[in-house]
């Protein structure tokens, strides 16, 4: 029985492929291109948007997947998280313009633009701050500059995007790394193969 594995395209892709190579799971690199289903016996790799990895795994079209903790926190999918892979480190932060930094800690109502509406909602309600969450699917850093929102909640890796848009980190919400996730039925039905894969990555 072969295993189908959902891999995140984009910033996590290279690190994921490097890890698979290093642990001898694959013997030659997988290239990120237009081809979205790559057969690499005994595995099939699906190259998908990072935020969609849990959807493929939860629905059983992929047995395993590599997903950022940020995405798992946002989606709360019904699957098993088997391993912290220690790659793809980033921070989930609240950021804003330098001049709003001081005001942030006194605010009782804020407008926040984010790709992570559930994380944002839950974070601000825990902090006792009323918030209006504006969901955007990308280029979130533009929002405070043009007055669409007061703050953003987003991931920061190198800090370059924030800097280039004159934004600063105000508060850290959580830290994130990539995780190995597994479909619940595959964990039972393909236990031997899943365990073999897990042991190589451990
Ligand atoms: C993410 C995130 C930030 C940026 C942070 O977006 O939403 O915009 O990366 O990275 P940095 O700190 O290294 O600059 P991504 O590049 O995944 O693209 P997107 O805006 O299209 O989602």
Contact at 8 Å (CB) between 196 and 6?
no
Q: Tokens representing 192?
A: 């031997």
Burial tier of 153 (Cβ tally within 10 Å: 0-12, 13-18, 19+): buried
Pocket of ligand 1 (CB under 6 A): 10-11, 138-141, 154-161
Q: Tokens representing 23?
A: 């642990």
- Rounded to two decimals, what is the model's pTM? 0.95
CA-based nearest residue to 144, from 115, 171, 168: 168
Task: Tell me the pLDDT of the chain averaged across its residues.
Answer: 97
Residues 38-80 have pLDDT tens digits of 999 999 999 999 999 999 999 999 999 999 999 999 999 999 9
Q: How far is the CA of 25 from the centre of ligand 1 (A)?
A: 29
If you average pLDDT over residues 28-45, what whole number do you get?
92
Q: How far is the CA of 192 from the centre of ligand 1 (A)?
A: 37
Spell out the domains of the chain, with CATH numbers in brackets. 4-89+177-201 (3.40.190.10), 90-175 (3.40.190.10)
Q: Is the peptide bond before 131 cis (omega within 30 degrees of 0)?
A: no
């Amino acid at each position: 029985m072969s295993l189908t594995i959902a891999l995140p395209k984009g910033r996590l892709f290279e690190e994921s492929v490097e890890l698979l190579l290093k642990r001898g799971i694959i013997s030659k690199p997988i290239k990120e291109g237009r081809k979205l289903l790559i057969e690499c016996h005994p595995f099939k790799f699906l190259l998908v948007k990072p935020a969609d990895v849990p959807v493929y795994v939860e629905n059983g079209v992929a047995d395993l997947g590599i997903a950022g903790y940020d995405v798992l926190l946002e989606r709360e999918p019904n699957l098993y998280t088997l391993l912290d892979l220690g790659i793809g480190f980033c921070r989930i932060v609240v950021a804003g313009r330098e001049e709003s930094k001081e005001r942030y800690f006194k605010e009782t109502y804020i407008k926040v633009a984010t790709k992570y509406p559930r994380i944002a909602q839950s974070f601000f309600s825990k902090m006792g701050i009323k918030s209006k969450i504006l969901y955007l699917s990308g280029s979130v850093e533009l929002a405070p500059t043009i007055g669409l929102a007061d703050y953003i909640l987003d991931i920061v890796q190198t800090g370059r995007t924030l800097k280039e848009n004159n934004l600063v980190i105000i508060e850290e919400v959580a830290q994130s790394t990539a995780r190995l996730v597994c479909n619940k039925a595959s964990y039972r039905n393909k236990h031997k193969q899943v365990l073999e894969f897990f042991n190589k990555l451990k």
